[in-house]
Amino acid sequence: MAAVIPIKEVEYEHPLPAGTCDTRFAWARVPAEPSQDERAQLKDRIRRLLKERNAVMVSHYYVHPDLQDLAEETGGIVSDSLEMARFGRDHPATTLVVSGVRFMGETSKILSPHKKVLMPDLDATCSLDLGCPADEFSAFCAQHPDRTVVVYANTSAAVKARSDWLVTSSCAVDIVRALAGKGHKILWAPDKHLGHYIQRETGADMVFWNGSCIVHDEFKSFELEALKKEHPGAKVLVHPESPAEVVALADAVGSTSGILKAAKEMDAKEFIVATDNGMMHKLRTLNPGKVFYEAPTAGNSATCKSCAHCPWMAMNGLAVLAHVLETGTNEIFVDEAIIDRARVPIDRMLAFTAALKSGKPAGSLVPDIGAA
């Protein structure tokens, strides 16, 4: 008999002009918060099951603090989507339990095709992924055959398979700058804000897919300026998926790892953070002497209901994770042909970032226009 896991239904709206990709019908099944006794019992049960199943947890910064802490306590990792997949590939465990959203599970499966990849809820998705269907994206690419296709990690395996390069927010500027330096014109997808930020930073010739993150898209510059006046000594940390007018107010712009680094290294005691509020747990844990405020999505110009937290990330919980480990359900499968094609742009990115990290000339990995 299937276990009954208490949930609450949550609806999210994202008003956009007609004719654009939106997520007005997005929804989430958010697990009910367990009591302290239930939480302790679930954690013990998960620890036991991880050992029995030869499994390891990989959790994203945006999921519930319980899942972040438990991943690290049991030898897993809390990180961004690419490092989650890379860690799972290199770990000896035969089963990966991915706490995040579906594209993260798919990326883990692409890099670890012979491992079992499980997720707490297969319906946990992403507005960027939802807003970039593979067939429509392929047709868009066909309209621009002279452009090098660069896609963000927040996409389906099928969209990755249609791309030339994959990037994360931490390496996107470096890779696009290298491509532009070799004469490549870029087709970018799916996040328009991140794409325009990259274009401003690199001067690359780019065309854009019209997508956005339902969390980052709702940060408000007007209210952010008001919050800055309340905390004049606070530094502003912004993820580049945010609108340009929000990015313009930042003291540091960066990926999740970049925001963590800035918070640690900047000479300030207060920070205003414009990214998913799931990051607050790690920021506060690593910087106990500092104060972090959430950048506003509310106020006079507000339209959103996300409250700076991804509804699908919120679908990950201890009870559903324990159930999945016990039953082996919610396994991620990706067609082998798609894995083979999607692995190409991922491997290009991994080689580029590895060269960059080691101080080698990463640009040499980017072919000139017309090169074989």
> What does the pLDDT look like over 125-149, one tens digit per residue?
999 999 999 999 999 999 999 999 9
Is the pLDDT at 11 greater than 90, yes or no? Answer: no
Q: Using the structure block, give the residue that is written with the tokens 């996040």.
A: 191
How sure is the predictor about 366, in pLDDT bands with cuts at 50, 70 and 90? confident
Residues 250-276 pLDDT 10s: 999 999 999 999 999 999 999 999 999
pTM summary value: 0.89
Say how far apart CA 198 and CA 201 lie, in whole Å.
5
**Strands 27-31, 291-294: pairing kind:** unpaired
CB-based contacts of 17, cutoff 8 Å, min separation 6: none
Say how far apart CA 205 and CA 147 lie, in whole Å.
9
Identify the residue with better confidence: 51 or 18.
Answer: 51
Residues 154-210 pLDDT 10s: 999 999 999 999 999 999 999 999 999 999 999 999 999 999 999 999 999 999 999
Is the pLDDT at 4 greater than 60, yes or no? Answer: no
Say how far apart CA 115 and CA 98 lie, in whole Å.
12
Q: What does the pLDDT average to over 36-60?
A: 97
Q: What does the pLDDT average to over 75-93?
A: 94
The single-letter code of the amino acid at 181 is G
The reported pLDDT for the residue numbered 364 is: 80
11-15, 69-73, 202-206: least confidently modelled range: 11-15
How sure is the predictor about 6, in pLDDT bands with cuts at 50, 70 and 90? low
- Residue 157 CA, chain-centre distance (Å), reads 14
How sure is the predictor about 357, in pLDDT bands with cuts at 50, 70 and 90? confident
The reported pLDDT for the residue numbered 27 is: 60
Say how far apart CA 263 and CA 267 lie, in whole Å.
9
Is the pLDDT at 306 greater than 60, yes or no? Answer: no
At residue 118, φ and ψ (nearest 5 deg) are -115, 150
Residues 269-304 pLDDT 10s: 999 999 999 999 999 999 999 999 999 886 554 554
Is the pLDDT at 1 greater than 50, yes or no? Answer: no
Mean pLDDT (the chain) is 89
The reported pLDDT for the residue numbered 299 is: 55
Q: At what angle do helices 65-73 and 318-327 cross, to 10 degrees?
A: 50
CB-based contacts of 277, cutoff 8 Å, min separation 6: 294, 307, 308, 309
Say how far apart CA 165 and CA 162 lie, in whole Å.
9
Q: At what angle do helices 65-73 and 279-286 cross, to 10 degrees?
A: 60
Buried b (16+ CB within 10 A) or exposed e, 312-341: bbbbbbbbbbbbbbeeeebebebeeebbeb
Say how far apart CA 295 and CA 252 lie, in whole Å.
14
Is the pLDDT at 369 greater than 50, yes or no? Answer: yes
**DSSP 8-state code for residue 218:** G
β strands within 52-205, DSSP E: 55-60, 77-79, 95-99, 116-118, 148-152, 165-167, 186-189
CA distances from 307 to 96, 129, 227, 275, 314 (A): 30, 20, 16, 11, 12
At residue 97, φ and ψ (nearest 5 deg) are -110, 110
Q: What does the pLDDT average to over 57-69?
A: 97
At residue 96, φ and ψ (nearest 5 deg) are -110, 130
Is the pLDDT at 79 greater than 90, yes or no? Answer: yes
